[in-house]
Amino acid sequence: MIPSEKINEISQANDIVDVIASYVAVKKRGKSFLALCPFHPDKNPSMTISPEKQVYHCFSCKAGGNVISFVMDYEKISFIEAVEKLAERAGIKIERSRGNAPREDISKLYEINKTAAQYFHNNLANISGGEKEFINSYIAKRGIKKNSLTKFGLGYA
């Protein structure tokens, strides 16, 4: 999920005239720009682009929308893909949700968990006296076999 403020920021950072001009030839006509419409076989430029409103409209085939919908329709990609493409174009970073944590973060978390597990597993081996007796009787009561303690890296906190 990309927050709507982020989508607004990305739209504002990509001028619609510049973006469309990177795909098709664009000519200035008064306050607007004209282009051959890429969404229908167009001989006379029937697409107008308004830099003021940041929208485009084709008088022939009625195609129209904003900078994101232009990229979606032209490239035949999804909304998210178009937003990502425009973010990259403008040098804007999109924060990834937790579900897409970068690989380094995942392996870091894995290391932390492994270190903690080792610490508690060592505790189990190093306890002595009454504590050891208590733990051993608890393990026996739970029916946990000795080799399971190492196999599953069980620990004592």
Binding site for Zn ion (CB under 5 A): 37, 39-40, 58, 60-61, 63
- The answer for 31, left when phi > 0, alpha when psi is -120 to 50, beta otherwise, is alpha
Q: How far is the CB of 57 from Zn ion (least distance, A)?
A: 9
Give the integer Cα–Cα distance in Å for 70 and 43. 19
Give the integer Cα–Cα distance in Å for 118 and 66. 55
Of the two residues 6 and 57, which places its CB atom closer to Zn ion in the complex? 57
Q: How far is the CB of 45 from Zn ion (least distance, A)?
A: 10
Of the two residues 61 and 125, which places its CB atom closer to Zn ion in the complex? 61
125, two tokens: 């081996």
137, two tokens: 């009787």
Of the two residues 40 and 96, which places its CB atom closer to Zn ion in the complex? 40
Residue 9 and residue 87 in contact, taking contact as beta carbons nearer than 8 Å: no
Q: How far is the CB of 28 from Zn ion (least distance, A)?
A: 19
